[in-house]
Structure formats: structure tokens, C-alpha cells
């Protein structure tokens, strides 16, 4: 992608009411646009990060046997009444609206009810199970506070997986596999050493649910971490009894701020009973299907990555989610510089290495500041100086040192890095 053709610009400012670091940086770098409090648009560079995160999640969901679909944003009031989750007193973040005929509909904040209802069309016998389905979908939630940038917004992208199993035993197996798949996701996006499997409140069916909490001062949750065991307990369930039950010692725990990037739940057969999702066993009995629900906040995860890795110069994207691997800066007016940079841009693009090519007539300082602010992992400079030595200058976002490399070695190096 050529900077001269990218409509977004970097900026030194951000909206006065924007207090979160992730949104301030993402706005300055041209990744997102603030529509209103807690509502953000994702611009081309931001969308590339989202798509990279989605690709990583999709790989893991597919290897669990998940099948991708997209449910609707408009939801039936009657359906959510059946499970007693329509009332604002029960679910306090609903957005609701009316059809022309005055009947009420809800705007999707989650999808357990509609997916379970839909499965009645597809599940009849034990032969139809298990079924695992997932989606990337825009969720709408009327959050009371939205002060954490894209880490808590009123409109956000969630990946939600729903598992339908024959028995509790089968459910527990896929639940454990999902736990591992989630950890794989957080490892792959670069947050593995900061993200902890966390015991949290379970809701109706089980004593605990499991959250994935990433340690960051920007997080809204408080967790107690056992670094050795790589486990944490959410403050909301912490008690002497719970610690004893989990085999954890108070003295081993460290209190930390964290952000919930994922959450997995067992619903048991409660929802299937409420909605009438049953199957026939091999010996002809009728049984309710066992449900699990598993969320990852895709855009929250992007915000957490931005928060955790940023430095005083701007964003710092891990390779796996960066919008491009290379920021290519052509410095100077010289036509030979432009030609050389064009040639390298084409070559890298051919090799499948993502490049943001700064082909604008801007000063070197401006281009370097943008490369840093945007957080692109590698920067390559083509200038009179590098041309004279028949080399390219390579520098990584996180180191001070530059390297002078000829074309062959440059490509080799980049191919290693981006694999
Ligand atoms: P929280 O306690 O932070 O409000 P939640 O328990 O309401 O989260 P879930 O309903 O389990 O969250 O949603 C699944 C995932 O979606 C969460 O783990 C989180 O990563 C993400 N998420 C939830 N609410 C928001 C939001 N308002 N903005 C962005 N991401 C969110
Ligand atoms: Mg919430």
C-alpha cells in the first residue's frame, strides 16, 4: 500500500474527551475514527489488524471443528423472554428498538438464545451431535461507562463460539480443548506471557466460568495471579474457601489490574430445556442438548495489544497482527531513490511481505515519526546514502540499531522475520 494513496493521515491530536491510551494512539495513527463516546469506526489500517486477529482466531476455531456462520443483529423479544433475559433488570446493557408494526426487537448483545433456537431445525438425533459453530459479529451493548477506548465500546466485534454436545462428559472435553485453543490465540497474538486463565463467577450452571485476563494497568478488572501456576482468580469470586478449593495459597497471589480478553461458560442443559432443544439417544430417549458459550473480544484484544506494547513513540504491533511487516521510506527528491524504492516495493509485494510504502514528498523526520507512531515492525530506508553504498537500511521498531544490507540479504532477513 502506498501512503500517497491511503486516505487516512496521521495526526498529532485526538478528541479532547478521549482519555484512553489505546484510542488516543489508534486515532493519531489513523487506525480508528471516534464517532461518539464508546463508538469507533475501523479505518483501513485498523481493519487490517482486526483481520489478522480474526485469521488467528479462525485457525484455532476451525481446528476445534468449528463451523463459521453469521447470525442476525435483530433479535426476537419473545425468544429472550422465554429464558428470562429480556428484562432490563436481568440484562442491563440491551439496546432495544421497534419495528413499524410496533413490535419490539433487541439489538444483539449475545447469541445463545437465537443460535439455540435455530439449532432446533438441525438437531434431532444423537447422530446430529456434536455441533460447534462460531461467528465474528458486531455486538451492541449500552455500556454505562465507555472510558477505555476500544477496550470497552458500545459497538464491538466479538468472536463467539457455541458448542452443542450430547452429554456433560462430551461437553467437558470440548470445553478443555477450547481452553487450549484460546491460550493458543493469545500466544499467537503476542500476549501469551501476560494472559492468565482466571477463575470467575459461573452464572447459573457451574460454580466458575473461565476468563482470560491480560495484565495491563488499563484493565478494568482486578485479578489475583499465581505466577508459578499461571492461574488467576478474579476478585469477584476470591474467598478463603475458593482458594482452598483451587489449591492456591493467598501468599502466592499477586493483585493486578487486567483486561478480560476472553470468557468461556458452561450452560449445561438449562437453556436447551427452556427453549426445547432436545435430541433422541441411540436407545430412543429424549434428552436436552448441553451448551457451551465462548467469547473473545476481537476489538478489545486489539486495544489491549495497543496498550501493552506501546512506547513513547507510538504503537508497537507484534508481527502476527501488524497491518504490514515493513514501512518503506524513500528519502529525498532524487529520481534514482524513487526508482529503487519502487523496485523494492514491487519485489516485497511479490514475495507476499506486507509493505506500507511512504512515497510522499515529506521530510525524513516526518516519515520516521509516522513509521514509529503506526508501530510497523520493520523500517527500510532508501536514500542517496544507501544508494551510493548499494545497500538498504533496515531497523526494527523495537531496537535502536540500523543494519545496512544488500538486496539479497535484506529479502532473506525479512522472509525469516515474517514467517
Ligand atoms: P465485561 O465484564 O468486561 O463487561 P462481559 O463479561 O460482559 O465483559 P462477555 O459477555 O463474556 O463479556 O463477552 C465476551 C468477550 O467480549 C469479553 O471477554 C470481552 O473480551 C468482550 N467484550 C465484552 N464487552 C465488551 C465491550 N463493551 N467492548 C469490547 N469488548 C467487549
Ligand atoms: Mg459486560
Distance CA 177, CA 154 (A): 30
Ligand 1 in reach of 377 Cβ (< 6 A): no
Distance CA 265, CA 162 (A): 10
| CA-wise closest residue to 1 among 30, 35, 34 | 30
Q: What angle do CA 291, 295, 297 make, to 5 degrees?
A: 170
Under the banding of pLDDT at 50, 70 and 90, the label for residue 206 is confident
Q: Give the number of other Cβ atoms within 10 Å of residue 374's Cβ.
A: 25
pLDDT for 418 equals 77
Q: Ligand 1: which residue has its CA nearest to atom 4? A: 152
Helix (H, G, I), strand (E, B) or coil at 76: strand
| CA-wise closest residue to 50 among 144, 153, 175, 142 | 153
- Judged by its nearest atom, the ligand closest to the C-alpha of residue 141 is 1
Calculate the CA 257 to chain-centre distance.
19
Contact 252, 228 (CB under 8 A): yes
Distance CA 110, CA 75 (A): 10
pTM value > 0.85: yes
Q: What angle do CA 98, 101, 102 make, to 5 degrees?
A: 40
Ligand 1 in reach of 260 Cβ (< 6 A): yes
pLDDT for 205 equals 76
pLDDT for 69 equals 98
Q: Average of pLDDT values for 45-70?
A: 98
pLDDT of 349 > 80? The answer is: yes
Q: Average of pLDDT values for 85-112?
A: 97
Angle between helices 407-417 and 335-350 (to 10 degrees): 40
pLDDT of 230 > 70? The answer is: yes
Buried (b) or exposed (e) across 351-373, using 16+ Cβ within 10 A? eebbbbbbbeebeeeebbbbbbb
pLDDT for 246 equals 95
pLDDT of 266 > 90? The answer is: yes
Ligand 1 in reach of 359 Cβ (< 6 A): no
Angle between helices 21-28 and 298-309 (to 10 degrees): 90
Q: 354-390: per-residue pLDDT in tens?
A: 999 999 999 999 999 999 999 999 999 999 999 999 9
Ligand 1 in reach of 43 Cβ (< 6 A): no
Q: 4-57: per-residue pLDDT in tens?
A: 999 999 999 999 999 999 999 999 999 999 999 999 999 999 999 999 999 999
Q: Is the dihedral of CA 100, 104, 109, 111 positive or negative?
A: negative
Report strand pairing: 104-107 vs 95-98: antiparallel
* Max CA pair span of the chain: 82
| CA-wise closest residue to 9 among 366, 381, 394 | 366
Q: Ligand 1: which residue has its CA nearest to atom 6? A: 263
pLDDT for 417 equals 84
pLDDT for 371 equals 98
Q: Average of pLDDT values for 219-238?
A: 97
Residue 40 contacts by C-beta under 8 Å, 6 or more apart in sequence?
23, 32, 33, 34, 149, 150, 153, 155, 299
Contact 331, 371 (CB under 8 A): no
Q: 182-193: per-residue pLDDT in tens?
A: 999 999 999 999
Ligand 1 in reach of 40 Cβ (< 6 A): no
pLDDT of 419 > 80? The answer is: no
pLDDT for 203 equals 66
Can you tell me which atom of ligand 1 is nearest the CA of 110? 10
| CA-wise closest residue to 356 among 334, 372, 376, 337 | 376
For the chain, give the percent of residues with pLDDT over 70.
100
- Judged by its nearest atom, the ligand closest to the C-alpha of residue 262 is 1
- Mean of the per-residue pLDDT values for the chain? 97
- Judged by its nearest atom, the ligand closest to the C-alpha of residue 261 is 1
Amino acid at each position: 500500500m502506498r501512503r500517497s494513496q491511503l486516505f487516512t493521515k496521521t495526526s498529532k491530536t485526538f478528541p479532547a474527551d478521549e482519555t484512553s491510551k489505546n484510542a488516543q494512539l489508534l486515532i493519531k495513527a489513523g487506525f480508528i475514527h471516534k464517532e461518539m463516546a464508546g463508538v469507533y469506526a475501523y479505518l483501513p489500517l485498523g481493519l487490517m489488524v482486526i483481520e489478522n486477529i480474526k485469521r488467528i482466531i479462525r485457525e484455532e476455531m476451525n481446528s476445534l471443528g468449528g463451523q463459521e456462520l453469521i447470525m442476525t443483529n435483530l433479535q426476537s423479544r419473545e425468544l429472550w423472554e422465554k429464558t428470562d433475559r429480556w428484562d432490563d433488570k436481568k440484562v442491563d446493557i440491551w439496546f432495544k428498538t421497534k419495528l413499524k408494526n410496533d413490535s419490539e426487537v433487541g439489538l444483539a448483545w449475545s447469541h445463545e438464545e437465537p443460535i439455540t433456537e435455530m439449532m432446533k431445525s438441525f438437531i434431532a438425533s444423537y447422530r446430529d451431535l456434536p455441533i460447534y459453530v462460531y461467528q465474528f459479529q458486531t455486538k451492541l451493548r449500552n455500556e454505562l461507562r465507555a472510558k477505555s477506548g476500544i477496550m470497552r465500546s458500545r459497538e464491538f466485534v466479538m468472536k463467539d463460539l457455541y458448542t452443542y454436545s450430547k452429554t456433560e462428559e462430551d461437553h467437558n472435553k470440548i470445553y478443555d480443548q477450547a481452553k487450549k485453543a484460546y491460550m493458543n490465540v493469545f500466544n499467537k497474538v503476542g500476549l501469551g506471557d501476560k494472559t492468565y486463565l482466571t477463575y470467575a463467577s459461573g452464572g447459573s450452571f457451574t460454580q466458575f466460568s473461565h476468563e482470560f485476563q491480560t495484565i495491563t494497568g488499563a484493565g478494568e478488572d482486578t485479578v489475583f495471579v499465581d505466577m508459578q501456576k499461571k492461574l488467576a482468580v478474579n476478585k469477584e469470586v476470591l474467598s478463603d474457601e475458593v482458594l482452598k478449593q483451587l489449591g492456591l495459597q493467598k501468599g502466592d497471589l499477586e493483585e493486578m489490574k487486567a483486561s478480560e480478553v476472553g470468557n468461556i461458560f458452561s450452560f449445561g442443559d438449562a437453556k436447551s430445556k427452556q427453549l426445547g432443544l432436545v435430541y433422541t439417544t441411540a436407545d430412543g430417549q429424549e434428552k436436552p442438548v448441553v451448551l457451551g458459550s465462548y467469547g473473545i473480544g476481537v476489538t478489545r484484544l486489539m486495544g489491549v495489544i495497543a496498550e501493552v506494547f506501546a512506547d513513547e513513540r507510538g504503537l508497537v504491533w507484534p508481527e502476527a497482527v501488524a497491518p504490514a511487516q515493513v514501512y518503506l521510506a524513500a528519502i529525498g527528491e532524487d529520481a534514482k531513490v524513487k526508482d529503487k524504492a519502487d523496485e523494492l516495493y514491487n519485489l516485497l509485494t511479490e514475495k507476499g511481505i506486507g509493505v506500507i510504502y511512504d512515497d510522499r514528498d515529506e521530510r525524513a523526520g516526518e516519515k520516521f515519526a509516522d513509521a514509529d507512531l503506526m508501530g510497523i515492525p520493520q523500517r527500510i530506508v532508501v536514500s542517496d546514502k544507501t544508494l551510493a553504498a548499494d545497500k538498504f537500511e533496515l531497523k526494527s521498531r523495537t531496537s535502536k540499531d540500523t543494519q545496512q544490507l544488500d538486496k539479497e540479504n535484506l529479502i532473506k532477513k525479512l522472509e525469516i522475520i515474517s514467517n
